[in-house]
Amino acid sequence: MSSRLKTTSREPRPPSPPLRSHASRKPNETLTLARILTMARKASLAKKALATAAFVFVVYAVLNIFHGPSSKLGSALPFGAGESASISVNSRKNLQSYGENPVRIYLYDLPTRFTYGVIEHHSLARGGRPVDDVTKLNYPGHQHMAEWHLFRDLLRPDLERIGSSVVRVSDPDDADLFYVPFFSSLSLIVNPVRPAAEPGLDPVRPAYSDEETQEALVEWLEAQEYWKRSNGRDHVIVASDPNALYRVIDSVKKSVLLVSDFGRLRRDQGSLVKDVILPYSHRVNVYQGDIGVENRNTLLFFMGARYRKEGGKVRDLLFQILENEDDVIIKHGVQSRESRRAASHGMHTSKFCLNPAGDTPSACRLFDSIVSLCVPVIISDDIELPFEDVVDYRKIAIFVETTVALKPGFLVAMLRAISAERILEYQKELKKVKHYFDYGSGTVNEIWHQVAQKLPLIKLMINRDKRLVKRNLTEPEWSCLCSNQTGIVTSF
């Protein structure tokens, strides 16, 4: 047997027989053929899988270009119109959390009186000359410029608004929300401290009445079909100056109000449930340096009006306690270019910046501090802060109760005990979030994101109104949406 095997191994292998029918094949031949066919099928499936994977990759790449992180909500976009679209890694992570379906918003074409007409009156009241085209006038800079930035954003082409939570629609029937672009904060300050000239005596400086303009706006809105169908609930109105719209606030209180705080609003007029808190427009230059304490030799800095009303009276007491402390700069200042330059320098060279309440709980210095990487020391017990769903203020600011801050020596001793390492931690967090508070970067998109989040509640309230009997409320309408203390509207 052994010799036979050796002989067989030396003999040439016969040619492969022709293919036979399955019935006539031997078991080994059938098994070999099955393996060949199986391998062929696997190879075919592998090719198909590779082709499918390649197709999916191409589709993903295309979608990523148009709908990737840079096209989602730009609350973290560190750039504005005309600037480069460079997005940090942290910003990209933040962008991932936003939805891809923007809320549809309709921009009311208000009479010029309520928009560029306000700018014109502001210019004329300060010695400006009449112009042929008021849309060419520059909106004056001040701390409540959100109304201008939002208006201009909605006027931008769609291709420049990629990443916004709202998309502008031209047909009001397609809209989820309606934006009312009245420059309410500018209207409030049109008349300078000196009275305007009497009508007819000075055509360059015509008289202007903010109250009359407010009332005319409400009259115009109440005549609009889309205001009537929801009582203004799906309308968005900016009233960032605490006194803006004070004459007609009860007529527009069901709308989504964009405010700086609730210091001048009753509980039935403003609420975190339906309204959005806006950051003031910072008035100092954004700090361009990196974190560090080496060039920040001042411990605590404040520059602003010493004497204020209501909650702002605490300022005078803080002046008395702090003005003679070493390493503390606290001085009276008024709004001017020189004051802003001095404030910029002071904040950029200080470790901590004092933020007491103004005439209302909030003040612009908080946002000046943030963009200066100067750790805010907030002394305002009733303050409301913007974007608290995305910003943890405990990581970027120090909060001190008013009664504690007014104890002589306490504030300075507390700040001096904070280590340089802890200050650097605050600065790192400030640097991460400062774009939220720079209207040239991500502020506008974050505001639209906050507004868009109100839509489900707005729809709930509109539908709820359709079945409930109207009544006079003794409690704020927005304080509790879960209880029904009304009668049912009977319908057949």
- The string of pLDDT tens digits covering residues 289-324 is 999 999 999 999 999 888 776 656 888 899 999 999
Query: What is residue 163's predicted lDDT score, i.e. its pLDDT?
Result: 87
Got the DSSP string for 317-328?
HHHHHHTTSTTE
Question: Crossing angle for the helix pair 146-155 and 443-452, nearest 10 degrees?
Answer: 80
Phi, psi of 428 (to 5 degrees): -60, -45
| Full-model pTM | 0.75
Q: How far is the CA of 98 from the CAs of 71, 72, 369, 440, in angstroms?
A: 10, 6, 28, 20
Q: What is the DSSP letter of 143?
A: T
Query: What is residue 206's predicted lDDT score, i.e. its pLDDT?
Result: 72
Query: What is residue 205's predicted lDDT score, i.e. its pLDDT?
Result: 63
Query: What is residue 465's predicted lDDT score, i.e. its pLDDT?
Result: 86
Domains contained in the chain, CATH given: 103-191+211-277 (no CATH), 298-438 (3.40.50.2000)
CB 260, CB 277: distance < 8 Å: yes
Phi, psi of 296 (to 5 degrees): -115, 85
For the chain, the straight-line distance linking the first and the last C-alpha, in angstroms and rounded, comes to 103
pLDDT less than 70: residues of the chain: 1-100, 193-205, 309-312, 335, 470-492
Query: What is residue 55's predicted lDDT score, i.e. its pLDDT?
Result: 52
Question: Using CA atoms, how far apart are residues 287 and 375, in angstroms rounded to an integer?
Answer: 13
Question: Using CA atoms, how far apart are residues 329 and 324, in angstroms rounded to an integer?
Answer: 9
Nearest CA among 371, 373, 352, 376 for reference residue 286: 371
Query: What is residue 98's predicted lDDT score, i.e. its pLDDT?
Result: 35
